[in-house]
C-alpha cells in the first residue's frame, strides 16, 4: 500500500485536508464520467502546482504516429489515442485583484467527496489569500447520465472576513495537448469560435481522423438563491474564449456561478448542426435547471445501483472499494453504443491510449452482462463483429489468408495499434478471448440468434487463424504453436504456451459445434454465412485435425500442464523468497533477467483453468494453483482477481481474501504507485468477479445458474445483485446463512451447493 488518505465511507470517496503531493493521484481517483465523456478531478479555478489536466470524449481519437526504435514490417503506422479534449470546467477567480490559486494561499478545511450513490463530485475549502481576504468555496460538479453531452458546475464563494470584489473568468480552452503525444504535436485544429448571450462554443476538429466537436459553456449567476444578471467582457483568443464578470460581495454573502459545459460531436450529429444543437441543448437544460438535473442524476444512479450494488457488512474499506469499482465501470461505459468500448484507464488518464484490449472480453463483459440489460453485453460483442473485416485485413498483413482473422491487441477502430513485436505479433491469445466472450454470453443468455446473426462469422475467422497459425511438428507428431507470448508478458517468443494452445483447440471445436447448431436451427443464416465465407467441409476437417492433435506441454513429475515448453529448465524459486527491495521486478530488474526467471506477471495457465474450470477436476485445479501461484508476482492489475476466484473455488479462503484485497483497493490505496496516471478500470471488473464468482461461487454453464457462497472470516455478511436475463436476484451470505431473493418474482431455477431449487420469492439455507 502506498497511500492511505481516503476516508473510509460506505457510499463516498472522501479526502480531507489539502495535500499537493497527492493531488494528481486524487485527480485520478475522483474522476467523473458518464459513458460519453469523462474528466479527471481537476480544479475549476487556476492551480499553478503540479496537475494533470484531462478531459476525454468517448470515441474521439487521434492516430498518433508510431514511435519505435527499430521498425519491424507489420507494425501499425500509428497508435490510436483517446484525446485529451478541450477543457470546459475552468473558472478563474480573482478576489480583490488577487488570483485564487490553492498553490499560493493558505488552505484549510479542504474536503472532496465523490458521491457514488448519486453521481456527483464536491469540493469545499477555506482559502486565505495573501491580501488577507478569507473565502469559503463550495464546488459541485457532475456529468449528466440523462443528457450525456452535458456537465454542470455550481461554484459558490463566500467572503468570510470582509466584503470583496470578486472577478469570475469562466472559459473554454481548446489549446489542449496529450501528455503522451509521441512527437509533441497538437491533435486539434480550431475551426470556429462563437460567443453570445452568456454562451460560448469552440468548434474544433481532430487532425487526420477529422472528428468535430463543439465544446460549449453557458454561464449564469445566483445570489441569495436568486438568479442575477451580471455584465461581462468577452475575450476571444485563437483557442480560448473567456468571459469576465465582476461582482461586489458582502461579508458572509454567497455568490454562485453556474457553468454548464458540453461536448456535442460529429459521431452523433451532422457537422453543420453541432453549434445549433449545442444551443438548443443549453436551452433545454436551462429550463430544467441545475437542481432538477441533479435530481435526474440521483434517479439514474439509483437505477444503476438497483441491479448492481454489493453490500459488505463488517469491513467499511472493502465496502467502499467494491462500490468504487462498480461506480467507475459505470462511469466509463453505459452500453448503448456499439462503437464504444472500455479502455484500461477509461477517462481517467492517457496510458494505454483509451483503446480496447482483451480486458473487455475476459473481464468486463461478465460484469456488464450480470448487472445490466443483456443488450449491453451484446453490444460489446457486436463491437468485435463490426471489426471483423479489419481483423481479417490485419491477419492478411501478417501473411495469413482465406479469411483468417487476427483481432488486434489494442484498437480503437478495429486496426491494430500496438507496436512491440513480442505483443503485436505474438500475444495472439487475445483472439481466443473474443470467442470465449461469445461462449460466456451464450451460457448466460442462451441467445443463439446472436451466433446466427453475427457470432458464427467471427468464430470462422478465428478458427481459420488458429488452423493456419499452428504447424505440424514431425518430431512431436502433434500440432504446435510457436513464437508466442501468453497472458504472462514476462515471457516472450515461447513455444506451445499452454493457454494459447488450449484456446486455439477450443476455438476450433467451438466453431464447429456452432456451425452444426446454426445449420440446424437457423438454416438461412447458415447458408448466408457459408456463401459469404466460402467455407468447405474439407477445410473444417483440416481445422479439426489441428484441434485433435494439439500439443500441450506437461510435467509428469509435477502432474501439471506447463506454461510453455521448457518451463522446468528455469530456476523455480517462490516469490516469497525474493527480497522485498527487489519488488516489483518490472521496476527493479533488467528485462532479460525477468525473461529468464520463472516469475509470472499474471494468470496464464491459471487463466485457462479459470475460463474452462468445468474441464478440470478439483484436484487438478488445486495442483495447478499450488504450482503456479507461489511463482506469480501479480504485477498486472488483472492478476489477483483470477487467483481470488480460483482460491475460493478450492477452499483457500485466506488466499482468496488476500487476493481480493489486492484487487479491490488497488487504486484507492495505490498499490502500484501509479494511480496518478489514471485508474485501472478494466481490472475493476475483476474485483466484481472476485466477489460474485469468487466468494459467491456464481457460475452460468449450460443454461444452469449455480451458486456456492462462502464468506471470508473477516466479514459479517455480504450481498450482491445480478440481472439474470431480466430477473433481478439478490444473494445474501453471512457467517450462518445463505439467502436468495427474487426481486422480479418470475420463477427461476438455481442450484445452490449442488442442489436445485425453484426460486420465486425467497430461499434461505
Would you please indicate which residues are annotated as catalytic (active-site) residues? 489
Q: Of 330-338, 355-363, 511-519, 591-599, which segment contacts ligand BGC by CB under 6 A? A: 355-363
| HEC secondary structure over 472-503 | EECCCCEEECCCECCCCCCCCCECCCHHHHHH
Going by DSSP bridges, is the β-strand pair 188-196/199-206 parallel, antiparallel, or unpaired?
Answer: antiparallel
Residue 263 binding ligand BGC, by CB under 6 A? no
d(CA 240, CA 91): 13
| Interactions with ligand BGC, residue window 471-490 (CB under 6 A) | 487, 489
Output the nine-digit C-alpha cell for 171. 472559459
Rounded to a whole number of angstroms, the minimum distance from the CB of residue 623 to ligand BGC is 24
Rounded to a whole number of angstroms, the minimum distance from the CB of residue 681 to ligand BGC is 9
Degrees, nearest 5: CA angle 709-713-719: 40
Going by DSSP bridges, is the β-strand pair 738-742/478-480 parallel, antiparallel, or unpaired?
Answer: unpaired
- Phi then psi for residue 57, to 5 deg, are -115, 130
| Backbone Cα Rg of the chain | 27
Q: Of 272-280, 292-300, 356-364, 454-462, which segment contacts ligand BGC by CB under 6 A? A: 356-364
Whether 38 and 119 have beta carbons less than 8 Å apart is answered as no
Give whole-number Cα distances, 748 to 372, 716, 719, in Å: 18, 28, 19
Q: Which residue is nearest to ligand BGC (CB)?
A: 344
Map grid coordinates 470578486 to a residue.
166
Query: Strands of 699-701's sheet, edge to edge?
Result: 699-701, 704-707, 748-752, 755-759
Rounded to a whole number of angstroms, the minimum distance from the CB of residue 391 to ligand BGC is 17
DSSP state of 630: G
Q: At what angle do helices 537-548 and 498-521 cross, to 10 degrees?
A: 150
Rounded to a whole number of angstroms, the minimum distance from the CB of residue 40 to ligand BGC is 19
Q: Which is nearer to ligand BGC, 145 or 598 (CB)?
A: 598
Rounded to a whole number of angstroms, the minimum distance from the CB of residue 489 to ligand BGC is 5
Rounded to a whole number of angstroms, the minimum distance from the CB of residue 488 to ligand BGC is 8
Rounded to a whole number of angstroms, the minimum distance from the CB of residue 362 to ligand BGC is 8
Rounded to a whole number of angstroms, the minimum distance from the CB of residue 604 to ligand BGC is 10
Output the nine-digit C-alpha cell for 47. 492551480
Q: Which is nearer to ligand BGC, 682 or 690 (CB)?
A: 682
- Phi then psi for residue 719, to 5 deg, are -145, 150
Q: Which is nearer to ligand BGC, 636 or 693 (CB)?
A: 636
DSSP state of 447: -
d(CA 583, CA 603): 18
Rule CB under 6 A: choose which of 352, 367, 498, 740 binds ligand BGC: 352
Upper half-sphere CA count for residue 421 (Cβ side, 13 Å): 10
Q: Which is nearer to ligand BGC, 53 or 394 (CB)?
A: 394
Rule CB under 6 A: choose which of 54, 59, 344, 686 binds ligand BGC: 344
Single out the residue of 679, 358, 626 nearest to residue 487, CA to CA: 358
SS3 category, 409 = coil
d(CA 433, CA 503): 8
Q: Which is nearer to ligand BGC, 98 or 420 (CB)?
A: 420
H/E stretch holding 430 reads: helix 430-445
Rounded to a whole number of angstroms, the minimum distance from the CB of residue 328 to ligand BGC is 14
Residue 358 binding ligand BGC, by CB under 6 A? yes
Single out the residue of 63, 65, 66, 60 nearest to residue 86, CA to CA: 60
DSSP state of 30: T
Rounded to a whole number of angstroms, the minimum distance from the CB of residue 680 to ligand BGC is 7
Q: Which is nearer to ligand BGC, 645 or 722 (CB)?
A: 645
Q: At what angle do helices 456-469 and 374-386 cross, to 10 degrees?
A: 50
d(CA 747, CA 738): 19
Rule CB under 6 A: choose which of 602, 687, 690, 723 binds ligand BGC: 602
Rounded to a whole number of angstroms, the minimum distance from the CB of residue 674 to ligand BGC is 11
d(CA 407, CA 423): 12
Rounded to a whole number of angstroms, the minimum distance from the CB of residue 51 to ligand BGC is 25
| Interactions with ligand BGC, residue window 60-89 (CB under 6 A) | none
| Interactions with ligand BGC, residue window 636-675 (CB under 6 A) | 636, 638
H/E stretch holding 749 reads: strand 748-752
Q: Which is nearer to ligand BGC, 357 or 502 (CB)?
A: 357
Output the nine-digit C-alpha cell for 109. 478545511
Q: Which is nearer to ligand BGC, 123 or 601 (CB)?
A: 601
Residue 682 binding ligand BGC, by CB under 6 A? yes
d(CA 27, CA 84): 14
d(CA 702, CA 751): 12
Rounded to a whole number of angstroms, the minimum distance from the CB of residue 494 to ligand BGC is 15
Q: Which is nearer to ligand BGC, 212 or 682 (CB)?
A: 682
Q: Which is nearer to ligand BGC, 60 or 679 (CB)?
A: 679
d(CA 40, CA 679): 10
Output the nine-digit C-alpha cell for 16. 480531507
d(CA 465, CA 105): 62
Q: Of 306-314, 353-361, 452-460, 475-483, which segment contacts ligand BGC by CB under 6 A? A: 353-361
562 C-beta neighbours (distance < 10 Å), count: 18
| Interactions with ligand BGC, residue window 547-576 (CB under 6 A) | none
Q: Of 351-359, 605-613, 688-696, 702-710, which segment contacts ligand BGC by CB under 6 A? A: 351-359
- Phi then psi for residue 636, to 5 deg, are -110, 140
Number of residues in contact with ligand BGC under rule CB under 6 A = 12
Whether 763 and 740 have beta carbons less than 8 Å apart is answered as yes
Residue 359 binding ligand BGC, by CB under 6 A? yes
Helices first, then strands: H and E counts in the chain: 22, 33
Q: Which is nearer to ligand BGC, 279 or 642 (CB)?
A: 642
Find residue 739's DSSP bridge partners: 732, 764
Single out the residue of 263, 261, 178, 173 nearest to residue 212, CA to CA: 263
Q: Which is nearer to ligand BGC, 135 or 685 (CB)?
A: 685
| Interactions with ligand BGC, residue window 147-176 (CB under 6 A) | none
Q: Of 3-11, 357-365, 547-555, 719-727, which segment contacts ligand BGC by CB under 6 A? A: 357-365
Q: Of 71-79, 274-282, 352-360, 498-506, which segment contacts ligand BGC by CB under 6 A? A: 352-360
d(CA 534, CA 667): 49
Residue 181 binding ligand BGC, by CB under 6 A? no
Q: Which is nearer to ligand BGC, 343 or 712 (CB)?
A: 343
Rule CB under 6 A: choose which of 88, 324, 357, 450 binds ligand BGC: 357
Residue 500 binding ligand BGC, by CB under 6 A? no
Q: Which residues bind ligand BGC (CB under 6 A)?
A: 344, 352, 357-359, 487, 489, 601-602, 636, 638, 682
Amino acid at each position: 500500500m502506498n497511500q492511505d488518505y481516503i476516508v473510509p465511507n460506505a457510499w463516498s470517496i472522501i479526502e480531507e485536508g489539502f495535500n499537493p503531493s497527492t493531488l494528481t493521484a486524487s485527480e485520478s481517483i475522483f474522476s467523473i464520467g458518464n459513458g460519453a465523456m469523462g474528466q479527471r478531478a481537476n480544479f475549476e479555478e487556476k492551480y499553478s502546482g503540479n496537475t494533470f489536466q484531462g478531459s476525454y470524449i468517448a470515441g474521439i481519437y487521434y492516430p498518433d504516429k508510431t514511435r519505435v526504435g527499430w521498425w519491424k514490417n507489420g507494425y501499425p503506422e500509428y497508435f490510436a489515442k483517446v484525446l485529451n479534449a478541450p477543457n470546459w470546467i475552468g473558472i478563474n477567480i480573482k478576489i480583490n485583484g488577487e488570483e485564487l490559486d490553492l498553490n499560493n494561499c493558505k488552505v484549510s478545511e479542504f474536503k472532496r467527496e465523490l458521491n457514488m450513490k448519486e453521481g456527483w463530485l464536491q469540493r469545499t475549502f477555506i482559502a486565505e489569500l495573501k491580501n488577507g481576504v478569507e473565502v469559503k468555496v463550495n464546488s459541485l460538479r457532475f456529468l449528466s447520465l440523462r443528457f450525456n453531452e452535458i456537465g454542470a458546475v455550481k461554484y459558490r464563494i463566500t467572503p468570510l472576513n470582509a466584503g470583496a470584489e470578486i472577478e469570475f473568468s469562466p472559459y473554454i480552452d481548446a489549446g489542449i495537448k496529450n501528455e503522451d503525444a509521441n512527437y509533441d504535436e497538437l491533435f486539434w485544429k480550431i475551426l470556429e469560435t462563437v460567443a453570445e448571450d452568456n454562451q460560448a462554443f469552440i468548434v474544433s476538429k481532430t487532425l487526420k481522423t477529422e472528428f468535430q466537436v463543439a465544446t460549449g459553456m453557458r454561464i449564469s449567476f445566483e445570489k441569495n438563491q436568486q438568479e442575477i444578471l451580471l455584465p461581462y467582457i468577452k475575450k476571444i483568443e485563437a483557442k480560448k474564449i473567456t468571459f469576465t464578470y465582476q461582482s461586489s460581495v458582502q461579508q458572509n454573502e454567497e455568490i454562485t456561478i453556474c457553468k454548464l459545459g458540453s461536448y456535442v460531436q460529429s459521431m452523433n450529429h451532422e457537422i453543420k448542426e453541432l453549434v445549433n444543437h449545442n444551443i438548443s441543448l443549453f436551452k433545454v437544460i436551462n429550463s430544467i435547471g441545475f437542481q432538477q438535473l441533479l435530481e435526474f442524476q440521483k434517479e439514474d444512479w439509483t437505477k444503476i445501483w438497483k441491479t448492481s450494488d454489493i453490500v459488505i457488512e463488517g469491513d467499511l474499506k472493502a465496502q467502499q472499494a467494491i462500490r468504487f469499482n462498480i461506480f467507475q465501470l459505470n462511469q466509463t461505459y453505459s452500453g448503448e453504443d456499439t462503437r464504444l468500448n472500455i479502455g484500461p484507464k477509461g477517462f481517467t488518464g492517457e496510458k494505454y491510449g483509451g483503446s480496447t484490449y482483451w480486458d473487455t472480453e475476459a473481464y468486463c463483459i461478465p460484469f456488464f452482462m450480470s448487472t445490466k440489460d443483456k443488450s449491453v453485453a451484446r453490444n460489446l460483442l457486436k463491437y468485435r463483429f463490426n471489426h471483423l473485416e479489419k481483423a481479417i485485413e490485419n491477419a492478411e498483413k501478417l501473411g495469413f489468408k482465406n479469411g483468417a482473422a487476427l483481432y488486434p491487441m489494442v484498437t480503437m477502430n478495429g486496426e491494430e495499434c500496438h507496436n512491440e513485436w513480442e505483443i503485436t505479433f505474438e500475444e495472439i491469445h487475445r483472439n481466443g478471448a473474443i470467442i470465449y466472450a461469445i461462449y460466456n454470453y451464450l451460457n448466460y443468455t442462451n441467445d443463439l440468434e446472436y451466433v446466427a446473426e453475427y457470432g458464427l462469422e467471427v468464430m470462422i475467422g478465428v478458427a481459420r487463424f488458429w488452423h493456419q497459425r499452428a504447424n505440424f511438428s514431425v518430431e512431436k507428431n502433434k500440432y504446435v504453436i510457436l513464437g508466442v507470448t501468453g497472458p504472462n508478458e514476462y515471457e516472450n517468443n515461447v513455444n506451445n504456451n499452454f493457454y494459447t494452445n488450449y484456446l486455439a483447440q477450443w476455438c476450433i471445436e467451438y466453431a464447429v459445434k456452432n456451425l452444426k447448431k446454426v445449420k440446424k436451427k437457423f438454416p438461412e443464416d447458415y447458408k448466408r454465412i457459408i456463401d459469404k465465407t466460402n467455407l468447405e467441409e474439407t477445410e473444417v476437417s483440416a481445422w479439426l485435425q489441428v484441434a485433435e492433435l494439439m500439443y500441450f506441454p506437461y510435467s509428469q513429475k509435477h502432474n501439471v500442464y506447463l506454461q510453455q515448453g521448457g518451463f522446468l529448465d528455469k530456476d523455480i524459486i517462490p516469490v516469497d523468497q525474493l527480497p522485498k527491495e527487489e519488488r516489483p521486478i518490472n521496476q527493479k530488474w533488467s528485462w532479460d533477467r525477468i525473461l529468464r526467471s520463472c516469475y509470472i506477471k499474471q494468470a496464464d495457465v491459471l487463466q485457462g483453468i479459470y475460463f474452462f474450470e468445468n474441464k478440470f477436476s478439483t484436484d487438478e485445479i488445486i495442483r495447478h494453483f499450488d504450482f503456479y501461484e507461489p511463482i506469480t508476482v501479480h504485477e498486472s492489475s488483472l492478476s489477483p482477481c483470477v487467483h481470488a476466484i480460483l482460491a475460493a473455488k478450492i477452499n483457500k479462503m485466506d488466499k482468496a481474501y488476500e487476493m481480493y484485497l489486492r484487487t479491490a483497493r488497488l487504486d484507492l490505496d495505490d498499490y502500484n504507485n501509479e494511480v496518478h496516471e489514471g485508474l485501472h478500470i478494466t481490472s475493476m471488473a475483476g474485483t466484481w468477479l472476485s466477489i460474485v464468482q469468487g466468494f459467491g461461487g456464481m457460475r452460468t454453464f449450460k443454461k444452469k445458474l449455480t451458486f456456492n457462497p462462502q464468506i471470508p472470516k473477516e466479514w459479517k455478511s455480504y450481498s450482491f445483485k445480478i440481472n439474470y436475463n431480466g430477473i433481478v436476484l439478490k444473494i445474501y451470505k453471512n457467517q450462518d446463512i445463505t439467502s436468495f431473493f427474487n426481486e422480479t418474482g418470475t420463477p427461476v431455477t438455481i442450484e445452490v451447493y449442488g442442489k436445485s431449487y425453484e426460486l420465486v420469492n425467497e430461499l434461505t439455507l
